Amino acid sequence: MHEDCVFCKIIAKELPADMEYEDEKFAVFKDIKPVAPLHLLCVPKKHIVSLSHATEADRGLLGDLLLTAQKVASGKRLPGYKIAMNVNREGGQVVDHMHLHLIGTIE
């Protein structure tokens, strides 16, 4: 848990979020400013600042992150969706806790 990290605070239940899925390693919740009918954030509970800060030790976590997004999407029977990750300020990242955007045109 990193102080001043909004996603760590959501994971620690110190801030509310519309949680869609949670297990010991990941939290998936609705984006507060959705850009599509379905806009979820898939967040590892481990605080990694961005993909550029991930290491070889995070190989399994990175794979599981994608599979978690896939599991949530298939649970919603989405016929298709987009997965995006912004990396660092220059890549459009605003929250410095690595996360995937799961974006679908239907809820």
**Known catalytic residue: 99?**
yes
Which residue among 5, 36, 49, 51 contacts Zn ion (CB under 5 A)? 5
Helix (H) or strand (E) holding 68: helix 59-75
The separation between CA 91 and the C-alpha centre of its own chain, rounded to angstroms, equals 16
8 binds Zn ion (CB under 5 A): yes
Shortest CB 35 distance to Zn ion, Å: 22
Query: Any contact of residue 67 with ligand 5GP (CB under 6 A)?
Result: no
Cβ(80)–Cβ(104) below 8 Å: yes
93 binds, among ligand 5GP, Zn ion, none (CB under 5 to 8 A by kind): ligand 5GP
Select the span of 30-38, 54-62, 63-71, 73-81 touching ligand 5GP (CB under 6 A): 30-38
CB under 8 Å to 101, separation ≥6 — which residues? 31, 39, 40, 41, 42, 82, 83, 84, 85, 86
Which residues are annotated as catalytic? 99
Give the footprint of Zn ion on this chain (CB under 5 A).
Answer: 2, 5, 7-8, 47, 97
